[in-house]
Copies of this chain bind each other. A is one copy, B any other.
Amino acid sequence: MSRGADVTPTHWAHFNPVRIAAGVGALEHLPQWVQPQVKVLLVTTAGFSRRGVTDRLLRLLGEQRVVVHDRVTPNAQLDEVEHAAVSLRDQNIGAIVALGGGSVLDTAKALSLGLCSTDAHPFGNVFRAGRPQTWTEAVPLYAIPTTAGTGSEVTPFATMWDRTTHKKHSLSGERLYPAVALLDPDLTLSLPLEETLYSALDAISHALESLWNKNRAPVSSALAFRALAIAERALPRVLATPDRVEARANMQHASLLAGLAISQTRTAMAHSVSYPLTSRCGVPHGLACSFTLPYILRANLDRVAEHAEERTVLAAVLELLERLDLGTRMRQYVSGREILGLQDEMHAQGRIENFAGELPGGLPRLLEESVR
């Protein structure tokens, strides 16, 4: 039985111009990609500097031309990013190399716009004062992910959090596509187990959210189903043997494919639900956007899967998600009652409308069943 007519829209588009280069040791090829001569801003975290990765990049790129910004902290904060953008403007930066997880890539993407702006409050004026986004230029970005989850290395989106208003803001637009995504699975080996899990759940969430999405299309479906098939096998292996680079590489591929899928569809229900849980209760993003997946998937599996082999993949993903017992993990951060109390903030514009599935019992039942 084909349900193709139900889930594939009659009109669709696709465009993703990111150059992808992947493989063990791919980091060594970075100098081939970054424009020669220009001044480079390296965006990363103190942890990577401590572990010697920053020094390695300085050697690779040529120390004299690199400005290091290694103070990125989890969940890119509007004020911090804005401050960094303004204070780095006089440095004549011609390229940004971002090495890190989602927050590093988000920060770097925001900087790629903020460095080209002359506004003293490029992000505050847009997200707090409500002025229109007028960024027309961006510094070319070379994205090197060290987690396998966000897919940010191939999306035209960046997330920014506002600590003062507890809001999550989205930067988006074609100029946010990185010029190059460089995937070296060696860089993901140092990721702690819990972050590995939550990153992977973010990737699985991206793939599923691109399937029950009103923007779903043939290309995004191809990428999403493959992301799920790879992730479903790779994640248990990564968790069992986190120092095996092959499983890490597979998880990195799954994350990339899921990123390519949401680069076209954006996310939907599960992400919409997650934002207040992260901004108000500090739930890690990958957990917050995945704890509702089992319920949504169970209710929509036949709608999302057009064919038998797709049902096979989705059923395996559902089984994996159920085994991970995400409800119990959620309750380490927040009670069921607190979650229910945040319902009104779970309607992220441009996310929840993307959801093309069914939600029997609505949001309350989704939340109740998901933290049981």
Contacts and interface: CB of A to CB of B under 8 A. Distances in A.
A218 B257 contact: yes
Interface string A229-265: 1100100000000000010011001001100100000
Given A246-B5, A309-B229, A312-B309, A218 B256 contact: yes
Which of A5, A15, A18 has the most chain B CB atoms closer than 10 A to its own CB? A15
A217 B260 CA distance: 14
Copies of the polypeptide in the assembly: 2
Contacts of A14: 19-20
Contacts of A17: 15, 17
A15 B23 CA distance: 15
Interface string A20-62: 1111101000000000000000000000000000000000000
A249 to B, nearest CB: 8
A233 B307 CA distance: 10
Given A20-B13, A226-B225, A308-B312, A219 B257 contact: yes
A307 B232 CA distance: 12
Query: Number of contact residues on A: which range applies?
Result: 35 or more
A312 B307 CA distance: 11
Contacts of A18: 15
B10 A21 contact: no
A189 interface: no
A260 B309 contact: no
Nearest to A13: B21
A3 to B, nearest CB: 12
Interface string A296-313: 000000000001111011
B2 A12 contact: no
A221 interface: yes
Contacts of A227: 222
A353 to B, nearest CB: 20
Nearest to A4: B250
A357 to B, nearest CB: 20
Given A218-B226, A218-B253, A229-B307, 19 more contacts: A2-B233, A5-B246, A10-B24, A10-B249, A11-B24, A12-B21, A13-B20, A15-B17, A15-B19, A20-B219, A22-B217, A219-B260, A222-B225, A222-B226, A222-B257, A225-B226, A226-B226, A229-B309, A308-B312
Interface of A: 2, 4-5, 9-24, 26, 217-219, 221-223, 225-227, 229-230, 233, 246, 249-250, 253, 256-257, 260, 307-310, 312-313
The 6 closest A-B pairs by CB, nearest first: A11-B23, A222-B226, A309-B309, A218-B253, A14-B20, A17-B17
20 contacts: A4-B246, A11-B22, A11-B24, A11-B26, A13-B19, A13-B21, A13-B22, A15-B20, A17-B17, A218-B257, A219-B260, A221-B226, A222-B225, A222-B257, A225-B226, A229-B307, A229-B309, A308-B312, A309-B310, A309-B313
